[in-house]
Chains A and B, each alone.
Chain A
Amino acid sequence: MVRIIAFFVGLGFAGVLLWSFVVNLYDNITEPPAPTAEHEFHREPKELHLASDGPFGKWDKAQLQRGFQVYKEVCAACHSLERVAFRDLAGLGYNEAEIKAIAKSYDVPSINPDTGEPATRKGIPADYFPKPYANETAGRAANNNAYPPDLSLITKAREGGAAYIYSLLTGYQNQPTELLKQFPDVKTPEGLHYNPYFANLNIAMPKPIVSDGQVTYGEGAPAATVDQMAKDVSAFLVWTAEPKLVNRHRAGMAVLIFLIMATVLGYMAYQNIWASAKRKVAPKGPLDPDNQAKREAAKAEAGGIAG
């Protein structure tokens, strides 16, 4: 009885599974999924190499400082950086006085100590970067109903990381004519901008870095081309997403060296301890060098007696 029930239950599952498969297959053949503009025209990020890449990666602090400058002068108009405090900027190589000066150049929200009314005061190193908009609604109202996301974690929050940010910033272009030929009804809507690196191809952010020299870099810095600024700000956003990245690389090397040595020593100890046990486990057969040596020795001994 149990067997019969079990058989039918199993048959039920297999049957429904097979039927699902056939239905899906049939659907796929009779009406194959229509190609979409996103599928045909979306592009993978370009290549980007940063000093912080790879297991030995270190910060290029000059580049991070330039990237910070780009953030401050361009992106900060729309994007917050709410998980980074001014004191964290020590990681970019700024000293205490410089950090104090940077913090002081910002007004942060506060309360008027006499009246209790909302007010602002000069920033101190312990403050976090203030947000450009009072709230999400204000941010959307100013940006065609799209909210500019906080940038602190953006390189970790997007597939492709820094390379994606760099590609996005340098990827603005006119909508290709082939696209419009193939998909006439997906013209980039008013207020959006065509960018093949963005998931749905049309992004609400206007091209932020528009011309060479938009940000004035200091002495000894590379020329402030659009490409260079995009790279610098992407590098900076790798830092904001994980300020401890280089500590992690350094600690990792030490831990790996330790573990590899411990493993090798452990393996030698294991060989040593098992040396006595192994031989008893199984005779290794006539071709085992140990056994051959013993046989040779035995033969020599026998030969010696005979001769």
Chain B
Amino acid sequence: MSFAWAKPYEPKTDIGRWIDERLPLPRLVYGAIGGGYPVPRNLNYFWNFGVLSGLFLTIQIVTGIVLAMHYYSYADGAFTSVERIMRDVNAGWLIRYAHANGASFFFVAVYIHIFRGLYYGSYKAPRELVWMLGLVIYLLMMATAFLGYVLPWGQMSYWGAQVITGFFSAFPLVGEPIRVWLLGGYAPDQAALTRFFSLHYLLPFVIAGVVILHIWSLHIPGSNNPTGVDVKDEKDTLPFHPFYTAKDGWFVGAFLTVYAVFVFFMPNALGHADNYIPANPLATPAHIVPEWYFWPFYAILRAFTVDFILPAKLWGVLAMFGSILLLFFLPWLDRSPVRSGNYRPVFKRFYLLLVVDVLVLGWCGGAPRNRSTSASARLPPPTISRTS
């Protein structure tokens, strides 16, 4: 169970007791989000982004299931089916814009959530598994978002799929066969689209499963707090309900308000105009850029331009994957006993440097590739790497 002083569930009604004896579901809910989960009193608003991430997973699943009712995963009909959703399905435009912008807001929430964990040392003992499960969720989210972006089968969908699956061909010998196997062909086509749809439908439910593990493992030690000092006794805590439900409640309203501004008044601001052009394998767009949440990684990929022992592209791919894999080892790499960045002046400086670095990388990754951005990588265009 959670903290030693966590209150056990006591059914108040006969029916409650009857159910609890047979299926302790009410007990589970009480322990997870009810009065049975004591939370430190001093959490700041950065602690709201976990609940927000969960909310956006739910929004994505609900809107996604409705989209899937009207979407066809045929290479020559997918684009049209998405346009039918926009034009002919009742409130279809709302469902689609909610889903497309929902993905972005999901990443906003998760990025803030991750950086919160980094700053306050939430990855340290005893929460290592909470942290690692969180990273698994993040990796799954990136896969899901990439797969989803391919589904409308516009120009960016197609060429994004081309470039991203091209990462695999950076690995010598096995790379190219793996790429062909993943795509079901030499270039994205019908086979790729159908399997991408299948996996895009599946992965969010895998994410939901990992989220349950993530929260389960959190509820053993309980939440960290801005001081990073363990809670001493019950007086330092408040039951999740009603205190944190109320604090999360209004903040959810505020966050959804910003989301609604995007969905209703600037729904294409975060997207790319080229994705309103149907996929055309014969016309390469002038600038192939992924969605904004991948920009920092795209910049890492493009920053390596010289061959040294390994080909430049492989350096880029390894650095990109490495930048995330490294985070899995963080609990053991950082051996300071102090958790919170508030009390670690040197750490605090490096943390700020990291934030600035990620923003700069994001800016470089989104900028069109040219020789003046230092990140300009001479990655062979996908068509060349395919034939070589």
Contact = CB atoms under 8 A, between A and B. Distances in A.
A262 B246 CA distance: 12
A13 B273 contact: no
B197 to A, nearest CB: 22
Interface stretch (B142-150, B288-296, B367-375): B367-375
A173 interface: no
A73 interface: no
A274 B306 contact: no
A5 interface: no
Contacts of A280: 41, 235
Contact of A157 (B242, B274, B322, B377): B274
B232 to A, nearest CB: 14
Given A13-B319, A149-B277, A242-B93, 8 more contacts: A16-B315, A17-B303, A152-B83, A156-B276, A157-B273, A247-B93, A259-B253, A263-B254
B265 interface: yes
Given A25-B374, A157-B277, A199 B83 contact: no
Interface in A83-103: 83, 88
Contacts of A263: 250, 253-254, 257
Nearest to B261: A256
- With a 10 A CB-CB cut-off, give which of B238, B273, B277, B372 has the most chain A CB atoms: B273
Given A28-B372, A242-B93, A244-B87, A277 B243 contact: yes
Nearest to B40: A281
B350 interface: no
Contacts of B308: 12, 15-16, 19
Contacts of A213: none
B190 to A, nearest CB: 20
15 contacts: A17-B303, A19-B306, A20-B312, A21-B374, A33-B370, A33-B371, A149-B277, A242-B86, A248-B93, A248-B94, A248-B97, A253-B264, A266-B253, A273-B243, A277-B243
B304 interface: yes
Contacts of A277: 41, 238, 243
Interface magnitude class on chain B = 35 or more
B93 A157 contact: no
Contacts of B346: none
B264 A256 contact: yes
A251 interface: yes
Interface in A191-211: 199
Interface string A249-261: 1011101100110
A83 B87 contact: yes
Interface magnitude class on chain A = 35 or more
Nearest to A273: B246
Q: Is the interface of A mostly helix, strand, loop or mixed?
A: helix
B217 interface: no
A252 B93 CA distance: 12
B41 A281 contact: yes
A17 B254 contact: no
A280 B233 CA distance: 14
Contacts of A156: 268, 273, 276
Nearest to B247: A270
A212 interface: no
Interface string B265-284: 10110000110110000000
Contact of B94 (A13, A149, A251): A251
A55 B265 contact: yes
B114 to A, nearest CB: 22
A180 to B, nearest CB: 24
B42 interface: yes
Contacts of B246: 266, 269-270, 273-274
Contacts of A273: 242-243, 246
Contact of B86 (A28, A244, A255): A244
